[in-house]
Chains A and B, each alone.
Chain A
Amino acid sequence: MKKILLIALLLCFQIGFAQVLNGTLTVNNGSFNITQDAFSSVTEAGLDDTDSEGRIETIPQDNLIGFVLNDSTGVLGAPVTSEQNCTSAVYLYQVYIHTTGAPVNAVIEARTQTDSGVVYPPSIVDILNLRSLTPNTVGADADGYIPIPNNASQAQKVFEFRGCRTDIPIQFRVSPSVLTPGGNSSFQVFYTITATIL
C-alpha cells in the first residue's frame, strides 16, 4: 500500500513540477481595426446601440497568434531545433485573453474555430487529431463568442490547443453602447498562454 501511495505522490509531483520546454508566443499584426458602419449601428430611435443586430466583427485573418517551442540544447550539448522540439514534445496550451484601456460601456468578445490555425511543424500528419484546438464553450454564446474582461486579473480562457501551432485566427466582436464615445480610440489586447504537461 505504501508503494501505491508513493507512486501516486510521485505522479502528482511529476504533473505539477516537471520541466516544460520554453516556447515563444507570436502575435502577428501590430494592430487590427474594428470599424463601425451604418449597417452595424442602431437604426431605431430610443434604443441603445447594443440592441442592434449588426454588432461589429473583425475579419478572422486580421488577428493571428502562434506558439512554438524554442531551439534548445540536447543532453549531449547538441542543438535541438524548434521544429524537432515541437515534433517530440506535445504540451497542452491554454489561451487567456484580456484587454486594457477598452472603451467604456462596450462589450468585447473573442472566439476561434475548432482546429483553426496550422500545426507546427506542418510536416506532422495528425491523423488521430492529437494536436487539436478546442474553443472554450463555458460562457460562450451560440456563436462561440466569449466576453473578454478589461481586467488583467480576470483574463478569460478562450481556447486551448495541444502541441505547437501557428496562425491561429482570433475573431473579435464589439457591441458598443451609444454611451461609448464616438470617433477613434484604441485599446490593448493581451494573450496569456499557460503550458501543462499532458
Chain B
Amino acid sequence: MINRTKHLLFSLLLLTAMFGFSQETLNANDPNSFVLGGGQGNNQANLTLIPISIVDIEPDPENGISFGGIGTDLEAGMPISGGSPAGANEELWLNFTHRVDNFQPKRIYVKSNMLIPNGLNITIQIINTVSIGGNFPANPNTNPILLTNSDQIIVYDFGSGYTGDGVGTGYQLRYTIDNTSGASLPVGFQIIYSIQ
C-alpha cells in the first residue's frame, strides 16, 4: 500500500512538472496551443539579396606561371617552344561563386589584357571538373581556346553555384605556349577571367 501510494505521488509530481516546464517547439497550426490566454500574430520580412559574381584562379595569390625560353631540350634548327605536352602547365584551377540575378544565366570568359606578340600562341583548356565542398552546375567548354585580347567563352551558361575554394576543385586549366618566334610576353601581361 505504501509503495503504491509512493508511485501515485511520483506520477502526480511528474504531471505537475509537465505543466510547469516548457517545450522547445510548438505546433503553431493548432489553435488549442495558444487560444487560452495566448495569441498569434505575424508580420512580413522583406529580403534583398545582391547578385554575386566572383571568379578566382588558384593557387591564389601565387597564380603566376612561367614558361622558360631556355629549356634543356632545345635543339638547333627547331623552334623555341614551351608548348609541348610535357611543358604544359596544369596546376591552375578556376574557382567561382555566383548568385543569379533575375534568372539570367551567365558565362565565364577569358582574354588577355594586351596584345600577344606575333609567333607566340597561348592555349587554355579546361581538362577537369571537380567539386570538393562545392555545389555548382558544370558546363565547361572543353575545347582548347587560343587566347586573344578579346573575350572567349571558357564556361558556357550556368546558374547559381560555388565551386569550393582552392586548388583541386572547380575547373582544372591547362596552359600551353607555342613560341615559334622566341618572343617574350610584355611586362604586365595578364590573363583575365570574367563572369558576364
CB of A176 within 8 Å of the partner chain: yes
> Does A191 lie within 8 Å of B41, measured CB to CB?
yes
Known contacts A8-B9, A94-B22; A27/B42 CB under 8 A: yes
> Does A183 lie within 8 Å of B38, measured CB to CB?
no
CB of A29 within 8 Å of the partner chain: yes
A94 to B164, CA, bound (A): 41
Q: Apart from A184-B47, A192-B39, what 5 extra A-B contacts exist at CB < 8 Å?
A: A30-B44, A42-B97, A46-B96, A152-B29, A182-B99
Known contacts A38-B50, A152-B27; A11/B39 CB under 8 A: no
User: For A144, what are the chain B residues with a Cβ–Cβ distance below 8 Å?
Assistant: none
Can you name the residue of chain A whose Cβ is closest to the Cβ of B54? A45
Pick from A25, A160, A187: contact of B44, CB under 8 Å: A187
CB of A103 within 8 Å of the partner chain: yes
Q: Which of A14-22, A74-82, A117-125 contacts B (4 or more CB under 8 A)?
A: A14-22
Pick from A43, A98, A155, A189: contact of B43, CB under 8 Å: A189
Can you name the residue of chain A whose Cβ is closest to the Cβ of B29? A152
Main secondary structure of the interface of B (DSSP, over half): mixed
Within residues 133 to 151 of chain A, which ones have a CB less than 8 A from any CB in chain B? 136, 138-139, 149
How far apart are A151's CB and chain B's nearest CB, in angstroms?
9
A15 to B15, CA, bound (A): 10
User: For A98, what are the chain B residues with a Cβ–Cβ distance below 8 Å?
Assistant: 28
A8 to B19, CA, bound (A): 13
> Does A174 lie within 8 Å of B26, measured CB to CB?
no
Within residues 92 to 110 of chain A, which ones have a CB less than 8 A from any CB in chain B? 93-94, 96, 98-99, 103, 106
A152 to B25, CA, bound (A): 10
User: For B142, what are the chain A residues with a Cβ–Cβ distance below 8 Å?
Assistant: none
Pick from B15, B43, B47, B170: contact of A12, CB under 8 Å: B15
A67 to B15, CA, bound (A): 28
> Does A25 lie within 8 Å of B16, measured CB to CB?
no
> Does B46 lie within 8 Å of A31, measured CB to CB?
yes
A26 to B40, CA, bound (A): 9
Interface centre among B23, B49, B55 (most CB of A within 10 A): B49
> Does A155 lie within 8 Å of B28, measured CB to CB?
yes
> Does B26 lie within 8 Å of A187, measured CB to CB?
no
Can you name the residue of chain B whose Cβ is closest to the Cβ of A7? B12
CB of A161 within 8 Å of the partner chain: no
Pick from A1, A172, A181: contact of B45, CB under 8 Å: A172
Known contacts A43-B54, A194-B34; A12/B12 CB under 8 A: yes
Please name 14 pairs of A and B residues whose Cβ atoms are closer than 8 Å in the assembled complex, sorted by A: A4-B9, A15-B20, A30-B44, A31-B45, A35-B47, A42-B162, A153-B27, A157-B25, A178-B52, A178-B97, A181-B160, A185-B49, A186-B47, A192-B34
> Does B46 lie within 8 Å of A16, measured CB to CB?
no
User: For A181, what are the chain B residues with a Cβ–Cβ distance below 8 Å?
Assistant: 49, 99-100, 103, 160
> Does A49 lie within 8 Å of B47, measured CB to CB?
no
A32 to B46, CA, bound (A): 6
> Does A36 lie within 8 Å of B49, measured CB to CB?
yes
Within residues 81 to 123 of chain B, which ones have a CB less than 8 A from any CB in chain A? 95-103
How far apart are A52's CB and chain B's nearest CB, in angstroms?
10
CB of A37 within 8 Å of the partner chain: yes
Give A43-72 as 1s and 0s: 1 = Cβ < 8 Å from B's Cβ atoms. Answer: 111111100000000000001010100000
Known contacts A156-B24, A157-B24, A182-B99; A195/B38 CB under 8 A: yes
